[in-house]
Amino acid sequence: MAKRNLFYAQSGGVTAAINATACGVIQTARANRSRIGKVFAGRNGILGALREELIDTGAESAKTIAALRHTPAGAFGSCRYKLKDPQVDDSEYERLLAVFEAHDIGYFLYNGGGDSADTCLKVAQLAARHGYPLQAIHLPKTVDNDLPFTDCCPGFGSVAKYVAVSTREAGLDVASMCETSTKVFILEVMGRHAGWIAAAAGLAAERDGDPPHLILFPEIAFDPARFLARVERTVKRHGYCVVVASEGARFADGAFLADSGATDAFGHKQLGGVAPTLAAMVKDNLGYKYHWALADYLQRAARHIASATDIEQAYAVGKAGVEYALAGRSGVMVTIERGRGARYRWSLGEAPLEKVANVERKLPRGFISRDGFGITAAARAQLAPLIAGEDYPPYGRDGLPCYARVEQKLVARKLKTPFPA
Amino acid sequence: MAKRNLFYAQSGGVTAAINATACGVIQTARANRSRIGKVFAGRNGILGALREELIDTGAESAKTIAALRHTPAGAFGSCRYKLKDPQVDDSEYERLLAVFEAHDIGYFLYNGGGDSADTCLKVAQLAARHGYPLQAIHLPKTVDNDLPFTDCCPGFGSVAKYVAVSTREAGLDVASMCETSTKVFILEVMGRHAGWIAAAAGLAAERDGDPPHLILFPEIAFDPARFLARVERTVKRHGYCVVVASEGARFADGAFLADSGATDAFGHKQLGGVAPTLAAMVKDNLGYKYHWALADYLQRAARHIASATDIEQAYAVGKAGVEYALAGRSGVMVTIERGRGARYRWSLGEAPLEKVANVERKLPRGFISRDGFGITAAARAQLAPLIAGEDYPPYGRDGLPCYARVEQKLVARKLKTPFPA
């Protein structure tokens, strides 16, 4: 069998674990030199394929590739770019195939969330239609943990650990000063459509009364009166109240809290900020001193406090992607499957992309406590194993983590037409 | 010499390292049982002394006390409480002395910032005036790093490390997606009056062009036009721009940026938020997609990424406090002194509280680059050693750090009058 080249690309929001998947892909491909030729990475994701900007990962040392395992964000660049619907305009998909053909790419490994699963499926279908031999494999990645058919998504466990650890730490801070200072602390976390990340904050609580005292999920309609009553009750009972709010928290009519809030000095609506909106509500109605934090990218980039389980899975997913491709599979996503029994065990599997693409997995109602403000034992059982274990990056003598720097050396173009044409 | 009791209290904003100082105090006192009787801790700081709410640390196991070293926030409670000026009303200081006398307290170790140095001094003076034998020692603590006569302040190194690491991580995140997504990222950090914490973000940059691209210091008047021009230039050159802004950033007229911003839905001025103010400025004038983060308490509570140097110093300061007290000293603050030479070495010293109290040490102009947006080599040399080394807390199998829980068992009151009377 002739050696063919491999193309790997990162898509959408980056995570603390996506480079571990890249590491798994590249190291496994290098271990299979007899069957895989060059390993290209798309510069800025799928845009790199469209523009024929292919990074030659062969130019990177084994040491740099190994360091990807402990490096956050997207080492080859990622993008938010939605390909045109090929039913309407198939020029972009045709272009992808032309680039793949020009560079003899036989393996397409696409690392992203729901949108990229859809792209990967369409590429697989187009290649089949053209009779172009291509193994197209989707590698899951999303901090939102909202892909179906996989027990969890690489990237989520690390953001979950960051949020749980930060909630525990900030909770101790507030508790120790609440008598004369801040009584209400609000931490806003990611998850526009699903409350998985917010739910992870619930892992911080060990005993009754521990923070977080309230979690606001996108899945539960926000009721200001119930919220305020609960905050007040918590402050009266415990002296303080820690709230973790999903950025996707919304009112019963579907409007986001983040859109309801502030107007800046110029009269423009200010974007973002469930936390300040809630803080203003608390101050106006209850008069408590408050503080709030918005972790934003800090949470998904926090490789320094990554979950060892997450990093192992992210790496394994990349490795399996190459193995599946070599085994002739295509049009599938690598999945993480949980074993039965109380002790957490996982293995890898696969799911057909037809079923995966564009399906969003919300937090099940059974994971949210009856009152809508906390997590259940079922949620805890599901989430706790995903943050287990620490996987620290190496640090320099300067006290900072040593993260990989990739050269991003591009291979020469072979096509005559540029993109866009 | 008769055994006398020791009183320790935490004051003001808590940190990731203040409990390490408590650990140093208690372990050293326990090692000197022949001279020190009981070790009391004030419940919620100095309020605990005023109210005669004394925590008997003897009720805590050696294991719990040892765990304080790796536990963030104030295990005995802290407070923001300014004692009345004794020149005007000396009832509170008299009350302190009455409580000390009732419990035979011969050693007063007060752990805080500038205000508490002043309190400690006044207690020492009052005791001397009354002929009450008391060793009053101040133990420095502040994330703001703004105390004079000490090379650095315990608590600062850990927040500095958090900010430098987070800046590096978020910078990689933004860099990897800037072509099609966020171009400007703003991280707001603490430091209302001094730019030490903001300066620490500068340590994240290794090479020219590395984030952070701009730092906004309280010490440099904010000029919107210059700021926007620099942001635009940075985006054009590097594709993205990372800004780290001190919460104390202010205009030339002294007004805080945080106060200039948003009004909420009810027309109330929204508190906090240099980052959203800057983000709105960037959006309105340059049109770039932005994101912002506000770390708030997360930064000062982040024991999970504490600086080993900071924790060692925090512990050593507590230990030295007890030793100084036993040696008969009073009215002094324990200081950290930097050795000469390129290799970082430190030892402990002392400074008279008359000189320390209420003096604020700002970031020297020589630590800020000429253009006002970065740090100099001198700043780097000063700050880099303070974030060196990692000192991870132990983690449970649940993936969360194991932090100490203190019982806070109070000793019986001896005074008849309550506080306030």
Query: Which two structure tokens, joined as six digits, stand for B326?
Result: 């036993």
Chain A CB within 8 Å of residue B116 CB:
no
3-state helix, strand and coil shares in percent for chain B, rounded to the nearest 5: 40, 20, 40
Q: CA-to-CA distance for B253 and B222, rounded, in angstroms?
A: 9
Q: Which helix (H) or strand (E) element contains residue A174?
A: helix A156-177
What is the predicted pLDDT for the residue at B1?
61
Q: How far is A303 from chain B (nearest CA, A)?
A: 7
* DSSP-based three-state secondary structure for B188: strand
Q: Is B341 left (phi over 0), alpha (psi -120 to 50) or beta?
A: left
Q: What angle do CA A372, A216, A373 make, to 5 degrees?
A: 30
Question: Beta strands B135-140 and B105-112: pairing type?
Answer: parallel
Residues 6+ apart with CB under 8 A from B6: B25, B29, B36, B37, B38, B39, B40, B105, B106, B107, B108, B109, B322, B325
Handedness of CA A390, A391, A396, A401 (dihedral sign): negative
Q: Which residues of A touch B296 (CB under 8 A)?
A: 170, 291-293
* Contact: B180, A79; criterion CB under 8 Å: yes
Would you identify the CATH topology of the domain A4-155+305-358?
Answer: Rossmann fold (3.40.50)
Q: CA-to-CA distance for B116 and B71, rounded, in angstroms?
A: 22
pLDDT digits (tens, 9 = 90+) for A355-376: 997 788 999 999 999 999 999 9
Cα A32 to Cα A4, A248, A411, B284, B316, distances in angstroms: 11, 44, 21, 52, 54
Q: CA-to-CA distance for A68 and A17, rounded, in angstroms?
A: 9
Q: CA-to-CA distance for A162 and A160, rounded, in angstroms?
A: 5
Residues 6+ apart with CB under 8 A from B129: none
Q: Which residues of A touch B180 (CB under 8 A)?
A: 44, 47, 79-81
Q: CA-to-CA distance for B207 and A101, rounded, in angstroms?
A: 38
Cα B171 from chain centre: 25
Q: Are A403 and B168 in contact (CB under 8 A)?
A: yes
Beta-carbon count within 10 A of B33 CB = 9
Cα A383 from chain centre: 15
Q: CA-to-CA distance for A397 and A402, rounded, in angstroms?
A: 10
Tell me which CATH homologous superfamily contains domain A157-301.
Phosphofructokinase domain (3.40.50.460)
Select the residue of B164, B180, B260 nearest A265 (Cβ to Cβ). Answer: B260
Binned at pLDDT 50, 70 and 90, residue A342 comes out as: confident
Q: Which residues of A touch B401 (CB under 8 A)?
A: 165, 168-169
Give the residue ranges of DSSP H helices in B141-195: 156-177
What is the predicted pLDDT for the residue at A295?
95
Instruction: Tell me if A4-155+305-358 shares its fold with A157-301.
Output: yes
Q: How far is A209 from chain B (nearest CA, A)?
A: 13
Q: Are A242 and A167 in contact (CB under 8 A)?
A: yes
Query: Which two structure tokens, joined as six digits, stand for B206?
Result: 């290794």
Q: Are A274 and A301 in contact (CB under 8 A)?
A: no
Q: CA-to-CA distance for B232 and A234, rounded, in angstroms?
A: 46
Whose tokens are 């506080």? That residue is B419
Beta-carbon count within 10 A of B395 CB = 18
* Contact: A280, B266; criterion CB under 8 Å: yes
* Contact: A298, B301; criterion CB under 8 Å: no
Residue A263 burial class via C-beta count within 10 angstroms: exposed 0-12, middle 13-18, buried 19 and up: middle
Q: Are B351 and B329 in contact (CB under 8 A)?
A: no
Q: Which residues of A touch B181 (CB under 8 A)?
A: 79-80
pLDDT digits (tens, 9 = 90+) for A106-163: 999 999 999 999 999 999 999 999 999 999 999 999 999 999 999 999 999 999 999 9
| ipTM here | 0.97
Is there a catalytic annotation at residue B144? yes
Binned at pLDDT 50, 70 and 90, residue A58 comes out as: very high
Q: CA-to-CA distance for A37 and A275, rounded, in angstroms?
A: 50
Q: Which residues of A touch B280 (CB under 8 A)?
A: 264-266, 268, 270
Would you identify the CATH topology of the domain B156-301?
Answer: Rossmann fold (3.40.50)
* Contact: A165, B284; criterion CB under 8 Å: no
List the single best residue of B165, B290, B390 to mutate versus A (max A Cβ within 10 A).
B165
Residue B297: phi and psi, rounded to 5, are: -60, -25
Q: CA-to-CA distance for A308 and A70, rounded, in angstroms?
A: 10
Catalytic residue among B90, B104, B118, B144: B144
* DSSP-based three-state secondary structure for B307: strand
- Residues 28-87 of chain B with CB under 8 A from chain A are 44, 47, 71-81
Catalytic residue among A56, A85, A118, A144: A144
Residue A239 burial class via C-beta count within 10 angstroms: exposed 0-12, middle 13-18, buried 19 and up: middle
Give the residue, A261 or B352, on which the prediction is more confident: B352
Residues β-bridged to residue A108: A7, A136
Select the residue of A10, A44, A187 nearest B179 (Cβ to Cβ). Answer: A44
To the question of domain B4-142+306-358 being in CATH 3.90.870.20, the answer is no
Q: Which residues of A touch B263 (CB under 8 A)?
A: 262-265
Chain B CB within 8 Å of residue A163 CB:
no
Q: Are B161 and B305 in contact (CB under 8 A)?
A: yes
* Contact: B74, A304; criterion CB under 8 Å: no
- Predicted confidence (pLDDT) at residue A263 exceeds the cutoff of 90: no
* DSSP-based three-state secondary structure for A146: coil
Q: Which residues of B touch A292 (CB under 8 A)?
A: 272, 294, 296
Q: CA-to-CA distance for B198 and B186, rounded, in angstroms?
A: 12
Binned at pLDDT 50, 70 and 90, residue A272 comes out as: low
Q: How far is A342 from chain B (nearest CA, A)?
A: 14
Of the candidates A20, A32, A103, the one whose C-alpha atom is nearest the C-alpha of residue A68 is A20
Select the residue of A81, A270, A302 nearest B276 (Cβ to Cβ). Answer: A270
- Residue spans of chain B under pLDDT 70: 1, 260-272
Q: Which residues of B touch A266 (CB under 8 A)?
A: 280, 284
Q: How far is A35 from chain B (nearest CA, A)?
A: 30
Chain A CB within 8 Å of residue B384 CB:
yes
Q: What is the pTM of this model?
A: 0.97
Q: Is B372 left (phi over 0), alpha (psi -120 to 50) or beta?
A: left
Q: How far is B256 from chain A (nearest CA, A)?
A: 14
Cα B295 to Cα A189, B168, B197, B254, B282, distances in angstroms: 12, 14, 12, 24, 20
Q: CA-to-CA distance for B270 and B267, rounded, in angstroms?
A: 9
Residues β-bridged to residue A222: A251
- Residues 255-274 of chain A with CB under 8 A from chain B are 260-266, 268, 270-273
Handedness of CA B186, B152, B361, B10 (dihedral sign): positive
Residue A89 burial class via C-beta count within 10 angstroms: exposed 0-12, middle 13-18, buried 19 and up: exposed
Beta-carbon count within 10 A of A284 CB = 13
* Contact: B298, A170; criterion CB under 8 Å: yes
Chain A CB within 8 Å of residue B307 CB:
yes
Residue spans per domain, chain A = 4-155+305-358, 157-301
* Contact: A262, B260; criterion CB under 8 Å: no
b/e map of A108-130 (b: 16 or more CB within 10 Å)?
A: bbbbbbbbbbbbbbbbbbbbeee
- Residues 313-372 of chain A with CB under 8 A from chain B are none
Binned at pLDDT 50, 70 and 90, residue A1 comes out as: low
Select the residue of B13, B173, B265 nearest A297 (Cβ to Cβ). Answer: B173
Chain A CB within 8 Å of residue B112 CB:
no
- Residue type at A137 in one-letter notation: I
Select the residue of B75, B80, B296 nearest A180 (Cβ to Cβ). Answer: B80
Q: CA-to-CA distance for B75 and B9, rounded, in angstroms?
A: 10
- Residues 166-205 of chain B with CB under 8 A from chain A are 166, 168-170, 172-177, 179-182, 185, 187, 203-204
Query: Which two structure tokens, joined as six digits, stand for A147?
Result: 């892909």
pLDDT digits (tens, 9 = 90+) for A65-120: 999 999 999 999 999 898 999 999 999 999 999 999 999 999 999 999 999 999 99
Q: Are B297 and A185 in contact (CB under 8 A)?
A: yes
Q: How far is A114 from chain B (nearest CA, A)?
A: 18
What is the predicted pLDDT for the residue at A261?
56
Q: Which residues of A touch B295 (CB under 8 A)?
A: 293, 295, 298
Q: Are B144 and B194 in contact (CB under 8 A)?
A: yes
DSSP A273-330: -HHHHHHHHHHHHH---EEEEE-THHHHH-GGG-BHHHHHHHHHHHHHHHHHHHTT--
What is the predicted pLDDT for the residue at B265?
44
Q: Which residues of B touch A388 (CB under 8 A)?
A: 397-399
What is the predicted pLDDT for the residue at B264?
47
